[in-house]
Structure 1
């Protein structure tokens, strides 16, 4: 028969013990009681066996003093029986104790000593029973010392192995598990044989018998010191990164792949007044709630642009007015970039917001200042242009006067010559229209109204400015050399502003040649069509050149004693407002050339909002 449980073994031992007691009583042979003592010692325990020895000795005394035995032999036989029972009890005790340690520390199987890491076992009351070889080696304890620790009735050994700061917490956890039978799971620092402490994760479970009673504890202790240090380093890195993200002077926010905001850094929270404690869980904040922060006039456009970018997975840069926590709307430059994995799938979106309100307001203020200064410069140039204006108006007005006299003579003739008078009247009308056009152009030049883009012929603009500066060219002894492309295409621009640019460049060229010989004073104007879809106009003089070609376009920079240094600066702003480019360079043959280029486009493609100037 195979006994598969301790309960079965105890039942069989009790039956055998009872049978041996009955047999000894009825047979009057106390030696049979040794069988009962043996059964109790082996199956129940050697401590219970000591009680069995006392009971068997008492029962044998009754048997030996019975009438079946001679009284003179009873004391000797009783002494022999007690000696035999004690010897049997001692043999069983030694056998059980030695076999236990032999099994644990000398011949144990892989289930105990070969456990990877530190393995241990404890009695039901928590007293340490054994440590495997790895644990013994770690703490520097021998097998004999282990036996002494096992015989201790308290937990003094706990302070020997556990870090002082972890003792109390560990004891609380241990007592809780001993009282409830729940698994022991704790992280604590254990002392190594060299006195250093390392972090370990200790896991112990209770082993129960068939009645559910705890018969022991078995555990495994895993070295997690390196992992704890790595986790601490990671937490430190996370803290530093969060500190960096919260400290950097930029509003940063994160969004899910669908574009739903779920994180705002401290700078954004403080700026917009977002209550992070009341924010929705990660990734559930609706995008509409963020769009509401934008100015009502911008929300529709912002939502459309953002949704288009999120749908296509494209980077985005957008400028709009965002509401600050004090209710003020400020201009914000928003930029978004997707983070993708190796397969190109978007994991999240990173967004940064730059407060550019001060910059936008400063730029707007500068634009208004430029406009006012441009008007002031136009008015300041009026006196200088008065001679050219008078010459421009003098020709059509003299023609009107002459033709009016002729008209009067033809009417006063006898008989009146109406045919000649009608022809003269038509000339008067044409001359009056010419004068009106001159006045309209001059009025537009010095008006406060903004320009209007339409298709213009730059060659015609150049001719008009040359006529306007005819007297100035003659008085300065400057020869005019025109090389204009007859097939130059028209482009959309403001006619008056282009006149201002050409007029300013020509006047600068004339003034640059005041200190050179009259024989070399030549102002060359070239227009050409480039292959990159632009038209260029170059004004070239034969003066002494430019000391710093780039600085001449800076505001308030001038080389003239009476100059304001704004002419070329505003010329560049006019050209750039037309999406063009203005630059200067010195020539190897002497002198300098200032050139501007404009893209060729229809009038419907552009709208100019920049006013110009005429004076340097």
Structure 2
């Protein structure tokens, strides 16, 4: 019979000890009691063995002197028995103490003390039989205390394991004992100061030539710092994922070739992408993402993206993307490559911003600006109605006068056809002048914008000055025109350019209302610049600008009855024509408002009809 556990061995030893006591009593031979003393010393402990020696001595005394009371031989035999029992006790004590000491501290086997971490070994049945000095030092027990633990319950070592981890550790250890598989267990162990730290326990079975397990050997490594680092890493990963999923934008990742493989939660929720059916990393075809774009944008989007991915250049693109409810919304997409130290692209990061509301708001603002611009033109014309009526009255009066002269020449006797013909030519010219005035007024009030075409800015300036002639005279403003006769034509909207010049000139006149009439002068200069632009400068002799940086802001005005929209609309008109408008104070006094336009021939790219006007 093979004894496979400590309990079985002790039970058999105690049975032998009891049998030896019975046999000694039966044959009346005290020396057989030495077997019981040895059993008690080995199984219970050499401390209890000392009491066993005394008890055996008393029992042997009874046995020896029961028949030979007072006999010298009996006393000698008793003395010999006691000496033999003490010697047996002493030998077992020395053997057990030195054997354990040698196993733990001196002769634990080759390299046991050098095992990384806490080394240990166990018998084939899993009973702990050897630990390294480092293990004793860590748990804070002495060699004797560890011996008692080894001699106790087979799994008494679990007292050093955290209570929450004991059950799982025992289950893994029993599984390895039953199957012979290596044991790999992670649990918390109590240090000598009561602190629990994480350890990884690794053990393998040693086998004999027949493959039978003869013991277990392993070590326990401190992984507490690793566990904390892993926990911190998982926490940072969780926070990063929460950040990526909750940041108010749609984020997606692509392979170096531009194949999408990850979409954050906001993108998934927005576009309705089924993450459960997501294709493996890097296998999702880019065409499947392009299908989300508006059919009118797909070809252009695919071409732009493929070009950017091929060159490895960052990309920004605006297009209409289909939301999960089927609505196409304007999206601003931006892509940046992540490169390694050698410049090789590792992946692409893309973000999508839903700008549909912004685009619609801008469109509404553009329409409102256009309506406001027309209203401002109407307001300007109402103020200039007297001047326009005066300008229209002159050619009409001339028509009436020349018609009378024409009639007189025809009624003469004989009729003077030569003079009548010359008067008829004058009537035609006067009628054409009146028609031009009417045409200009209708264009200013019309909701439809004229097609941009090459215009002469000098002619625009002269026409505006003619319209404001009465205002200039009534305000005692001296007009100084310095117009470049070689100024090239540029493609622009004639009505809008008239509106810009009209507003700037009128502001210049109004800026001089509170200065002495003797110094009121308005200089208008047109010139060509070397950078391919033409400039028009309107300079007054007023008190200057209080805040040149804000004069083009909507609703900013220094006039008591002003709306603050004139220069703001002018600024938008000039920018819509790809030009620039600015203002500054003049050192000699007054202010200067200047705008520049690029020189564009009639066959160049035209300014879009109804150029965007924004305040």
Q: Same fold (TM over 0.5)?
A: yes
Cα pair 2:448 2:610 within 8 Å, conserved: no
* Structure 1: segments with no counterpart, 5+ residues: 1-86
Give SS of 1:551's match: coil
Aligned to 2:150: 150
Aligned to 2:133: 133
Change (3 A) 1:611 1:289: closer
Task: Name the TM-score, length of structure 2 as normaliser.
Answer: 0.78
Q: Distance in 1 between matches of 2:548 and 2:343?
A: 48
Q: 1:131-280 residue pairs with structure 2 within 5 A?
A: 131-152=131-152, 154-158=154-158, 160-280=159-279
> CA offsets per residue over residues 439-469 of structure 1, 9 Å max, x none?
3222212211124222222222212211222
Q: Distance in 1 between matches of 2:308 and 2:611?
A: 36
- What is the CA RMSD across the aligned residues, in angstroms? 3.2
> CA offsets per residue over residues 529-558 of structure 1, 9 Å max, x none?
233332221111112223333333232333
Q: Distance in 2 between matches of 1:273 and 1:243?
A: 19
Question: How far off is 1:176 after superposition?
Answer: 0.6
Give SS of 2:536's match: strand
Question: How far off is 1:379 after superposition?
Answer: 2.3
Change (3 A) 1:97 1:602: farther
Aligned to 1:586: 585
Aligned to 1:114: 114
Deviates more, 1:211-220 or 1:131-140: 131-140
Q: Distance in 1 between matches of 2:430 and 2:288?
A: 67
Cα pair 1:337 1:349 within 8 Å, conserved: yes
Question: How far off is 1:236 after superposition?
Answer: 1.1
Q: Distance in 2 between matches of 1:406 and 1:171?
A: 129
Question: How far off is 1:426 after superposition?
Answer: 4.4
The answer as to 2:339 corresponding to 1:340 is yes
Change (3 A) 1:110 1:428: farther
Cα pair 2:542 2:590 within 8 Å, conserved: yes
Aligned to 2:464: 465
Cα pair 1:104 1:112 within 8 Å, conserved: no
Give SS of 1:527's match: strand
> CA offsets per residue over residues 486-509 of structure 1, 9 Å max, x none?
333332211111111001111111
Deviates more, 1:244-253 or 1:514-523: 244-253
Task: Name the TM-score, length of structure 1 as normaliser.
Answer: 0.78
Give SS of 2:473's match: helix
> CA offsets per residue over residues 301-355 of structure 1, 9 Å max, x none?
2222222222211112222222223332222222221111111111222222222
The answer as to 2:425 corresponding to 1:453 is no
Q: Distance in 2 between matches of 1:188 and 1:320?
A: 55
Q: Distance in 1 between matches of 2:505 and 2:375?
A: 20
> CA offsets per residue over residues 174-205 of structure 1, 9 Å max, x none?
11111111110111112222222211111111
Cα pair 2:108 2:130 within 8 Å, conserved: no
Aligned to 2:288: 289
Give SS of 1:377's match: helix
Question: How far off is 1:422 after superposition?
Answer: 4.9
Give SS of 1:371's match: helix
Q: Distance in 1 between matches of 2:105 and 2:584?
A: 95
Give SS of 2:279's match: coil
Q: 1:542-557 residue pairs with structure 2 within 5 A?
A: 542-557=541-556
Cα pair 1:321 1:331 within 8 Å, conserved: yes
> CA offsets per residue over residues 379-406 of structure 1, 9 Å max, x none?
2333322233234334444454455455
Question: How far off is 1:413 after superposition?
Answer: 5.6
Question: How far off is 1:365 after superposition?
Answer: 1.2
